[in-house]
Amino acid sequence: MSDNYLEIGIITRFQGNKGEVRVKATTDIPERFLDLDFVYLKRGDELKELEIDYIRFHKQFVIIKFFDVDSIDEAEKLKNYQVLIDESEKYLLPEDNYYVTDLIDCEVYLKSGKYLGNLIDVVDTLGADIFLVKGQEKEYMLPASREMILEIDLENKKIIVDPIPGILDL
């Protein structure tokens, strides 16, 4: 077991009276839960591994039944735990798709080579995602479009961008 985990959901409450928990998926691929036999649950410094009995979907939630969690009381105790998987289990994404956790802290440079700042967040909008870059004087919001993001080099934690004129002045 490594120290590198990827969050795929948060337990929001119990579901029903058989010990099921309701999970708000924080992954773009909720179906990936179906491939799991166990997950890690983390809250604060506490980390535990729980084996999955079964998984089903209800509305926009993932419902998980763990072995040895058989009552509302036991399920309620799991509220607000992060649902994690070992990073080694993460899906290989299609080309030009990245995990947000891999992008955070990348240094962002303009095409000219000028340092713009560090990527501190990726904001999920209904259209293109927005890269939030913290520069020395201000924060920049850059649409994560093919036209503006020229290169993402995860090995060197470096992103090269060519923003449209005026966007850095916003």
Question: What does the pLDDT look like over 20-35, one tens digit per residue?
Answer: 999 998 887 788 888 8
Backbone angles phi, psi at 105, to 5 degrees: 75, 0
How much is the mean pLDDT over the chain?
87
Task: Please list the residues that pair with 43 across neighbouring strands.
Answer: 46
Q: Kindly state whether residues 75 and 150 are assigned to the same domain.
A: no
Domain boundary among 43, 58, 89: 89
Contacts for 25-33: CB closer than 8 Å, 24+ residues apart: 25/60, 25/61, 25/62, 29/91, 30/57, 30/62, 32/8, 32/91, 33/8, 33/9, 33/62, 33/64
CATH of the domain at 109: 2.30.30.240
Can you give the length of the chain in residues? Answer: 170
- 108 with 157, same domain: the answer is yes
* 79 lies in the same domain as 104: no
- Residue 20 resides in a domain: yes
For 117, the domain range is: 100-165
Do 104 and 66 fall into the same domain? no
Q: What average pLDDT does this structure show over 39-59?
A: 93
Rounded to an integer, the average pLDDT of 41-60 is 93
CATH of the domain at 12: 2.40.30.60
Distance CA 40, CA 82 (A): 8
β-partners of residue 133 are 119, 140
Q: What domain count does the chain have?
A: 2
Domain check: are 17 and 73 in the same one? yes
The domain boundary, picked from 58, 89, 120, lies at: 89
pLDDT 10s digits, 80-123? 999 998 877 766 665 666 777 788 899 999 999 999 999 998 88
Whole-number Å distance between alpha carbons of 13 and 24 = 10
**105, 52: one domain:** no
Same domain, 81 and 121: no
